[in-house]
């Protein structure tokens, strides 16, 4: 199924996504929030990265551009946040990502 193995060999939990691997041309998914009259709604989108500048990447979804922080997008083949919540997050390399989650 997934082209990349996100499951840790030593603890059997899921490894956090390495966003430094995201590059132009990749399919990524992200969540947008929009405000309705009385609540915030979440919408999941998938698009293609067409530009990366520092921490900001430009993702095109149906000819519309979204500018997202690279931390807010995930590769399309990565486990979704629900998977992390269900199976747990690998902390074997925790010291390398002090700000994650
Ligand atoms: Zn682990």
pLDDT score for 2: 45
| Spans in the chain with pLDDT lower than 70 | 1-4, 94-101
Answer whether 65's CB lies under 8 Å from 56's CB.
no
| Distance of CA 27 from the midpoint of ligand 1 (Å) | 26
Which residues sit opposite 35 in a β-bridge? Answer: 40
Answer whether 55's CB lies under 8 Å from 66's CB.
no
pLDDT score for 84: 84
| Distance of CA 64 from the midpoint of ligand 1 (Å) | 38
Answer whether 21's CB lies under 8 Å from 73's CB.
no
Cα 27 to its chain centre, rounded Å, is 10
pLDDT score for 70: 93
| Distance of CA 21 from the midpoint of ligand 1 (Å) | 19
pLDDT score for 94: 65
| Distance of CA 79 from the midpoint of ligand 1 (Å) | 15
Length, in residues, of the chain: 101
Which residues sit opposite 68 in a β-bridge? Answer: 57
Domain regions of the chain by residue span: 1-17+78-95, 25-74
């Amino acid at each position: 199924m997934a082209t990349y193995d996100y499951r840790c060999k030593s603890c059997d939990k899921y490894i956090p996504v390495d966003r430094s691997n995201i590059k132009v041309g990749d399919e990524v998914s992200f969540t947008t929030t929009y405000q309705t009259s009385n609540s915030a709604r979440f919408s999941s989108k998938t698009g293609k990265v067409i530009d990366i500048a520092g921490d900001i990447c430009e993702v095109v979804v149906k000819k519309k551009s979204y500018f997202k922080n690279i931390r807010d997008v995930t590769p399309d083949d990565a486990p979704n946040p629900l998977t992390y919540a269900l199976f747990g997050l690998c902390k074997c390399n925790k010291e390398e990502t002090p700000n994650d989650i």
